């Protein structure tokens, strides 16, 4: 079955899952040439097997709110592929969560994890429960109820979830406590854990830092770095916060960030003190980014994204499909030279085309944001050997992983005119490793 037939089959079998189709189409369109060099793949129906998740768990989660009402949400875990290691991928708690979004994320995760050089398969999960506006007691009761179902499907050598949108240190703690209670085991079953109970140094920072390490590698190919560059960041959660921190440290200036209600524009730049304010606002008080504009007297734009502002580098760090074709054209018109994705699939296919036609540096999330899962992998290793590495050790390993992902992208993505197509590079490199492992393991 060729790539087009596989895609048509998926669309027929799984209608109403547009994000899943979008992610599959993007990968298939870039690996076809490589795939065609291997007739043995076709014989083993490898593409179709790689596109359809190994299994999908779907369950109802009941929990009690602070008023004593019983509330119901949906819970999911997609175990996509474990050819190269145990299933691994985050949990997302957000009202927009559905099967299509989680299937796209689990599919992407498989290639991303393959790129990290660590032995991890691909998975994703979550719920349409949103922690926003809920008390900590409500969040805890929800996490406990969610884990009451999930625990039987996961395990340190089977499937190791982590955080994602709406699932940070607080949620991981509640989920971990429940798993421990149910199994009577203290094991490395989740990553992103607190340092006191098996977490890794640098895990909270890893996705944002890793994105900037990747960006620095890209900039190096153009003989430049971050000094004096103006950056547009979206989001103000975990990934955005540590992206901003690393940009400041390396001499760049971040003038925007956002949440789902709107964005702020601070022409003086977000400095260390302002970033501390954002961290406290978002992680402690769980407030809105509008309050930053009130605090520092800068512009706040309700219901919009920051891509119309002027900058040298765009670092989308909020959610999928947050840069459309018009945004991409605006960014190019404003002179953007690089886009490096902290979020998963933040650019639509049309936007990616605009970036690539303009021949700017463009790194897809599965390469640029792989630092998060990489340090999750390092957390698993530390749990297995029952040791904790220092901050410097983990940071050094993260840097070296991001460098090797960049090298793989250049190796597989350099085109005849010298332009590096990072999308092709990441997809082909990620695909080949998983494909070879699947072939070696037979047609199961
Ligand atoms: P957080 O929940 O910490 O932060 C998410 C941020 O994005 C918040 O500012 C949130 O605003 C905003 N946001 C969420 N949904 C939307 C939306 N539909 N429209 C506009 N803004 C939105 O999540 P993370 O920072 O962990 O994740 C951000 C992105 O990075 C996601 O795409 C995630 O998959 C990806 N990622 C995360 C990794 C990690 O290690 N955490 C690893 C690799 C990728 P609000 O507060 O209003 O909800």
Average pLDDT over residues 153-157: 97
Q: Report pLDDT for 380.
A: 98
Residue-wise burial string across 35-50, b where 16 or more C-beta atoms lie within 10 A, e elsewhere: beeeeebeebebbebb
Listed in sequence order, the residues at least 6 apart from 58 whose beta carbon sits closer than 8 Å to its beta carbon are: 74, 75, 76, 99
Average pLDDT over residues 31-60: 94
- pLDDT at residue 42 tops 80: yes
236 C-beta closer than 6 A to ligand 1 = yes
CA distances from 319 to 68, 76, 158 (A): 33, 19, 28
369 C-beta closer than 6 A to ligand 1 = yes
Q: Report pLDDT for 260.
A: 95
Helices (H) and strands (E) in the chain, counts: 17, 12
Ligand 1 atom at minimum distance from 163 CA = 41
344 C-beta closer than 6 A to ligand 1 = yes
208 C-beta closer than 6 A to ligand 1 = no
Same domain? 108 vs 240: no
Tokens of 147: 């884990």
pLDDT band at 82 (very low <50, low <70, confident <90, very high): very high
Same domain? 268 vs 304: yes
Query: Is residue 441 in some structural domain?
Result: no
Same domain? 149 vs 295: no
360, 339 Cβ separation under 8 angstroms: yes
Query: Is residue 340 in some structural domain?
Result: yes
Same domain? 260 vs 114: no
Ligand 1 atom at minimum distance from 372 CA = 40
Query: Is residue 304 in some structural domain?
Result: yes
Same domain? 167 vs 236: no
Q: Which residues pair with 73 in a beta bridge?
A: 61
Expressed in angstroms and rounded, the spacing between residue 112 Cα and the centre of ligand 1 is 18
Torsion angle of C-alpha atoms 401, 405, 407, 411, degrees rounded to 10 = 150
Minimal-distance CA residue to ligand 1 atom 20 = 260
Domain boundary among 185, 217, 242: 185
Same domain? 77 vs 170: yes
CATH number of residue 344's parent domain: 3.40.50.720
Average pLDDT over residues 52-64: 98
85 C-beta closer than 6 A to ligand 1 = no
Same domain? 174 vs 219: no
Domain of 265 in residue numbering reads as 206-363
> Three-state SS string across 396-411, please?
HHHHHHHHHHHHHHHH
CA distances from 242 to 207, 211, 237, 315 (A): 8, 9, 9, 12
Minimal-distance CA residue to ligand 1 atom 2 = 165
Query: Is residue 416 in some structural domain?
Result: no
d(CA 10, CA 14): 6
Rounded mean pLDDT of the chain? 97
362-413, pLDDT tens digit by residue? 999 999 999 999 999 999 999 999 999 999 999 999 999 999 999 999 999 9
CATH number of residue 76's parent domain: 3.40.50.10860
Task: Name the burial class of residue 14, with classes exposed (0-12), middle (13-18) and buried (19+) by CB atoms within 10 angstroms of its CB.
Answer: middle
Expressed in angstroms and rounded, the spacing between residue 167 Cα and the centre of ligand 1 is 9
166 C-beta closer than 6 A to ligand 1 = yes
Alpha carbon 218 to chain centroid distance?
19
76, 57 Cβ separation under 8 angstroms: yes
Establish whether 124 is a catalytic residue.
yes
Domain boundary among 152, 185, 218: 185
Pick from 195, 157, 189, 158: nearest CA to 176: 189
Given the residues 124, 274, 282, 397, the one annotated as active site: 124
pLDDT band at 443 (very low <50, low <70, confident <90, very high): confident
Minimal-distance CA residue to ligand 1 atom 4 = 237
- pTM for the complete prediction? 0.96
Total number of domains in the chain: 2
Average pLDDT over residues 234-260: 98
Query: Is residue 400 in some structural domain?
Result: no
Same domain? 41 vs 70: yes
């Amino acid at each position: 079955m060729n790539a087009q037939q596989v895609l048509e089959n998926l669309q027929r079998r799984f209608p109403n899952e547009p994000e899943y189709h979008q992610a599959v189409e993007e990968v298939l369109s870039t690996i076809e040439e490589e795939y065609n060099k291997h007739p043995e793949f076709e014989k083993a129906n490898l593409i179709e097997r790689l596109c359809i998740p190994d299994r999908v768990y779907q369950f109802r989660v009941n929990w009690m709110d602070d008023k004593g009402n019983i509330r119901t949400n949906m819970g999911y875990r997609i175990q996509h592929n474990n050819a190269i290691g145990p299933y691994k991928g985050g949990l997302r708690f957000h009202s927009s969560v559905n099967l299509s979004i989680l299937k796209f994320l689990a599919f992407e995760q498989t290639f991303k994890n393959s790129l990290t050089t660590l032995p991890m398969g691909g998975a994703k999960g979550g719920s349409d429960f949103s922690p926003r506006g809920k008390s900590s007691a409500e969040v805890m009761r929800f996490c406990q109820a969610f884990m009451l179902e999930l625990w039987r499907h996961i395990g340190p050598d089977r499937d190791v979830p982590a955080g994602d949108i709406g699932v940070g240190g607080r949620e991981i703690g509640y989920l971990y406590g429940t798993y421990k209670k149910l199994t009577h085991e203290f094991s490395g079953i989740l990553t992103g854990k607190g340092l006191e109970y098996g977490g890794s140094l640098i895990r909270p920072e890893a996705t944002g830092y890793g994105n900037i390490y990747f960006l620095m590698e890209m900039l190096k190919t153009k003989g430049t770095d971050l000094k004096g560059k103006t950056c547009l960041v979206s989001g103000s959660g975990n990934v955005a916060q540590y992206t901003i921190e690393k940009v400041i440290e390396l001499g760049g200036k971040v003038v925007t960030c956002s949440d789902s209600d709107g964005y702020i524009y601070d022409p003086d730049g977000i400095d260390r003190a302002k970033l501390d304010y954002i961290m406290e606002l978002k992680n402690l008080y769980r407030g809105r980014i509008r309050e930053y504009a009130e605090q520092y007297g800068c512009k706040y734009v309700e219901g919009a994204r920051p891509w119309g502002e002027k900058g040298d580098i765009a670092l989308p760090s909020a959610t999928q499909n947050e840069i459309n074709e018009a945004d991409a054209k605006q960014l190019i018109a404003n002179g953007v030279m690089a886009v490096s994705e902290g979020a998963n699939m933040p650019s639509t296919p049309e936007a990616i085309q605009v970036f690539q036609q303009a021949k700017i540096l463009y790194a897809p999330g599965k390469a640029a944001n792989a630092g998060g899962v990489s340090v999750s992998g390092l957390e698993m290793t530390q749990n297995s050997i029952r040791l904790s590495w220092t901050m410097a050790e983990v940071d050094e390993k993260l840097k070296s992983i991001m460098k090797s992902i960049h090298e793989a992208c250049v190796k597989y993505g350099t085109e005849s005119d010298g332009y590096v197509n990072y999308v092709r590079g990441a997809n082909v490199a990620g695909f080949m490793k998983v494909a070879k492992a699947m072939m070696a393991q037979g047609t199961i």
